[in-house]
């Protein structure tokens, strides 16, 4: 019996058993005897979160197009299912076959956010595998990882055999070909990893020696056995020729984003100095409207979906958006398929575009000024004038929308109390605008302000900056609340999780010991507020003699070796430092489309 067959009779005892049953429409089934490699794509969070991940959908399709590989899926179980697996002594299994994860050749994790790190260890543990790569041998699967956190991988370096840095479609196929040949030839694990390190975009932590200075900072990360000194991310140059999931899996239960996701382009030309994704995804590359229309039709016809999400870092920056929506809308209308534009900027908001896209539900729109004052928006290079925000809100109110959500960050570099209070004042001016442009106020208005804490991330101009201490962030949130008028609803995200995110994103290899300690103390599902405990994490750091403030609250110098200095996103350190210096002067930089700033990615 497979692990799934053993646990199936007891699934009625857990909430949302459909998370664990598999068998969804369009999930891929293959004969395990007909393939040379078996891979399980591991998402270290719940089914609802993982099935909403575009990266999972893309790589699941890419790998399963290879006739010699079968790629399945596994997700982190919720607490009730974790307990059931332990009580029944059943290992964590893949959804397609029901086989235990230990029986696969490769476990491929996606690291979308730092607070999922303990869930990686949870899944390895439930699979019956040693947590540390050095403790696994020829009988164990190869454990690989990719995703956004692969750009700063050191806290997970002791647990992962190799990381894929950058876009995965091509490098994944190259790795599968290598592993297939290595399995056929009977290559030992260390030889496989040495060969993998020669593939551009693959980082093998065991081939690098890390040394430290007396003050605790990094001295060097030195490669061995032919590994490159700097691992450069992989970039797909032509998106039009990339395969796109033609038969998306129809989820068996409600998920966060239950829609066909149509990726318009990759990269971002804006250069917001706080945004890691904007830098690590450069350069901008678009798909043609013709390619996108064909992909949308095929996906909807094969999965029966009722919504198409037009997704990218900044959807309204897509040059062919009007053309694409003008083509898709007449096709979607008769089929009762709606279009959603989830990422719009206030300076490019167009009610006519939303009307063309078929968005008839007018409950609310979301804009992200990020900072309340124009000066601070210049510091972070947001390049959003207040007049643009007001024009967008006026167009929304007069166009029938009765709600606006505004998102901000607290703790940005160079932030003053005046900047903080300006968040409330800006929201108040939006409310006054509604009173001016909407003569019939009977339908009311909902203006919501949300604030999260700023986390300085690797591969950004703010990577040298300290995070604002949580206590100070709470004080600043209080200033906003005191200044906010009663007609505006204010939501504030507590900074404890952001503090841990900062430690894990800026940490070096020593932090991995605290990750393991925290897991063994009971930390898991840290991205869920009901499960998160900073006190428990502090105990774990203390037990490993690690000062988390050293990573989160300390300013770095320009000459310091950073834990991610040997990982290149293609943007030069010199460019990041120039942008940091411009931030100090509150000097904006041009949009890439309006003038090259010399970041190095296009060279």
Q: Which residues of 30-68 are buried (b: 16+ CB within 10 A; e: fewer)?
A: beeeebbbbbbbbbbbbbbbbbbbebbbbbbbbbbebee
Give residue-wise pLDDT tens across range 321-364.
989 998 998 898 888 888 887 777 888 777 777 666 655 445 46
Q: What is the pLDDT of residue 177?
A: 98
Q: What is the pLDDT of residue 591?
A: 87
Using alpha carbons, select from 565, 521, 534 the residue that is nearest to residue 470: 534
Using alpha carbons, select from 147, 179, 186 the residue that is nearest to residue 163: 147
Give residue-wise pLDDT tens across range 151-162.
999 999 999 999
DSSP string, 253-287: S--SS-SEEEE-EE--SS--TT-HHHHHTPSPEE-
C-alpha–C-alpha distance, residues 30 and 245, integer Å: 17
Cis peptide before 152 (omega within 30 of 0): no
C-alpha–C-alpha distance, residues 48 and 527, integer Å: 14
Within the chain, which residues score under 70 in pLDDT?
A: 354-364, 441-442, 603
Phi and psi at 142, nearest 5°, equal -80, 135
Phi and psi at 492, nearest 5°, equal -135, 130
In what helix (H) or strand (E) does residue 422 lie, and over which residues does it extend? helix 417-437
C-alpha–C-alpha distance, residues 547 and 549, integer Å: 5
In what helix (H) or strand (E) does residue 211 lie, and over which residues does it extend? strand 208-212
Phi and psi at 162, nearest 5°, equal -155, 150
Using alpha carbons, select from 218, 316, 72 the residue that is nearest to residue 550: 218
- CATH homologous superfamily of 3-232: Cobalamin-binding domain (3.40.50.280)
Q: What is the pLDDT of residue 354?
A: 66
DSSP string, 489-542: EEEE--SHHHHHHHHHHH--TTHHHHHHHHHHHT---TTSTTT--HHHHHHHHH
CA atoms within 13 A on the CB side of 389: 26
119 in Cβ contact with 112 (< 8 Å): no
In what helix (H) or strand (E) does residue 232 lie, and over which residues does it extend? strand 231-232
CB atoms within 10 A of CB 12: 7
Q: Does residue 235 sit in helix, strand or coil?
A: coil
Q: What is the pLDDT of residue 428?
A: 96
């Amino acid at each position: 019996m497979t692990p799934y067959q053993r646990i199936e009779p007891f699934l009625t005892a857990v909430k949302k058993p459909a998370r664990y049953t598999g068998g969804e429409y369009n999930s891929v089934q293959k004969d395990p005897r007909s393939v040379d490699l078996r891979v399980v794509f591991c998402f270290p969070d719940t089914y609802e979160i993982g099935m909403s991940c575009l990266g999972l959908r893309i790589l699941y399709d890419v790998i399963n197009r290879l006739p010699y590989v079968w790629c399945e899926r596994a997700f982190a179980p919720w607490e009730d299912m974790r307990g059931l697996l332990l009580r029944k002594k059943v290992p964590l299994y893949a959804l397609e076959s029901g086989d235990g994860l230990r029986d696969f050749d490769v476990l491929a994790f996606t690291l979308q956010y730092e607070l999922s790190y303990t869930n990686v260890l949870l899944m390895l543990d439930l699979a019956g595998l040693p947590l540390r790569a050095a403790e696994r041998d020829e009988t164990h699967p190869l454990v690989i990882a990719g995703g956004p956190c692969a750009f700063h991988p050191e806290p997970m370096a002791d647990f992962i055999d190799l990381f894929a840095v950058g876009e995965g479609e091509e490098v994944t196929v190259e790795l599968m070909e290598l592993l297939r040949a290595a399995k056929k030839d009977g290559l030992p694990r260390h030889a496989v990893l040495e060969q993998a390190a020669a593939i551009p975009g693959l980082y093998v932590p065991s081939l690098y020696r890390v040394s430290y200075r007396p003050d605790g900072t990094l001295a060097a990360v030195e490669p061995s056995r032919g590994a490159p000194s700097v691992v450069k991310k992989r970039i797909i140059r032509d998106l039009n020729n990339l395969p796109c999931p033609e038969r998306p899996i129809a989820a068996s239960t409600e998920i966060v984003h239950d829609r066909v996701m149509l990726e318009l382009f990759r990269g971002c030309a804006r250069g917001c100095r706080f945004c890691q994704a904007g830098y690590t995804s450069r350069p901008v590359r678009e798909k043609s409207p013709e390619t996108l229309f064909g992909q949308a039709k095929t996906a909807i016809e094969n999965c029966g979906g009722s919504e198409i999400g037009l997704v990218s870092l900044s959807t309204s920056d897509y040059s062919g958006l009007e053309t694409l929506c003008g083509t898709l809308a007449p096709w979607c209308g008769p089929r009762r398929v709606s279009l959603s534009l989830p990422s719009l900027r206030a300076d490019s908001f167009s009610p006519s575009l939303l009307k063309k896209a078929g968005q008839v539900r007018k409950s609310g729109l979301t804009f992200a000024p990020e900072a309340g004052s124009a000066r601070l928006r210049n510091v972070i290079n947001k390049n959003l004038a207040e007049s643009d925000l007001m024009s967008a809100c006026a167009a929304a109110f007069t166009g029938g929308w009765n709600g606006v959500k505004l998102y901000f960050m607290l703790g940005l570099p160079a932030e003053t109390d005046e900047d903080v209070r300006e968040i409330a004042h800006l929201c108040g001016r939006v409310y006054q605008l509604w009173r001016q442009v909407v003569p019939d106020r009977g339908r009311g208005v909902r203006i919501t302000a949300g604030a999260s804490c700023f986390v300085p991330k690797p591969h950004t101009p703010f990577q040298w900056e300290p995070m604002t201490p949580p206590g100070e962030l709470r004080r600043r949130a209080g200033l906003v609340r005191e200044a906010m008028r009663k007609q505006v609803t204010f939501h504030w995200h507590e900074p404890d999780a952001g503090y841990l995110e900062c430690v894990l994103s800026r940490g070096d290899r020593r932090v991995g010991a605290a990750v393991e300690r925290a897991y063994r103390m009971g930390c898991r599902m840290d991205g869920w507020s009901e499960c998160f405990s900073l006190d428990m994490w502090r105990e774990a750091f203390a037990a490993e003699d690690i000062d988390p403030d050293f990573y989160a609250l300390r300013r770095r110098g320009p000459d310091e070796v950073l834990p991610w200095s040997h990982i290149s996103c293609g943007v030069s350190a010199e460019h990041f430092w120039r942008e940091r210096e411009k931030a100090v002067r509150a000097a904006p930089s041009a949009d890439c489309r309006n003038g090259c700033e010399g970041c190095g990615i296009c060279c």
